[in-house]
Amino acid sequence: MPHPRDQGSQAEEQALRHLLAQGMKLVERNFHSRRGEIDLVLLDAGTLVFVEVRSRNNGIFGSAAESVTRAKQLRVIQTARHFLQVRKEWANTPCRFDVVAITGRSNGAIDWIENAFQST
């Protein structure tokens, strides 16, 4: 069984391939701040998209999407605000928050949830 960190990296790579195939452009991977981490930052037709990638081998403990709790959403929002402060070139760009949930082992089923949560 792969280490959870390896599984997370594989899920992020799968999510990135999927989003790039949809025409999005990669801005940054794994942006860290003291507030948290954003897995992927992409550009989608002029909108900056902050993406949280979650994966689960199965749904025994709930779906991958359900694992993005309100507390996790708030950490992503705070980290996105920090991103916009330090990457000033994006400060006035419209933003949204997406979740890519992957269920199953390598190359599992992808559920891309656009506008999964709001910053307000």
- How many folded domains does the chain comprise? 1
Q: Is residue 17 part of a domain?
A: yes
Q: Is 95 helix (H, G, I), strand (E, B) or coil?
A: strand
Residue (of 82, 100, 110, 85) closest to 44 by Cα position: 100
Residue 45 has pLDDT above 90, yes or no: yes
Which CATH number fits the domain that encloses residue 63?
Answer: 3.40.1350.10
State the pLDDT at residue 3. 45
State the pLDDT at residue 37. 96
Residue (of 20, 31, 36) closest to 100 by Cα position: 20
- DSSP symbols for 22-73: TT-EEEEEEEEETTEEEEEEEEETTEEEEEEEEEESSSTT--TGGG--HHHH
Stated pTM of the model: 0.88
Greater confidence (49 vs 70) lies with 49
Confidence at 1, pLDDT banded by 50, 70, 90: very low
**Average of per-residue pLDDT values in the chain:** 87
Cα separation of 33 and 51, whole Å?
15
Q: Is residue 120 part of a domain?
A: no
State the pLDDT at residue 57. 65
Provide the domain limits for residue 103: 4-115
Segment 102-114, tens digit of pLDDT? 887 666 789 899 9
Cα separation of 72 and 66, whole Å?
11
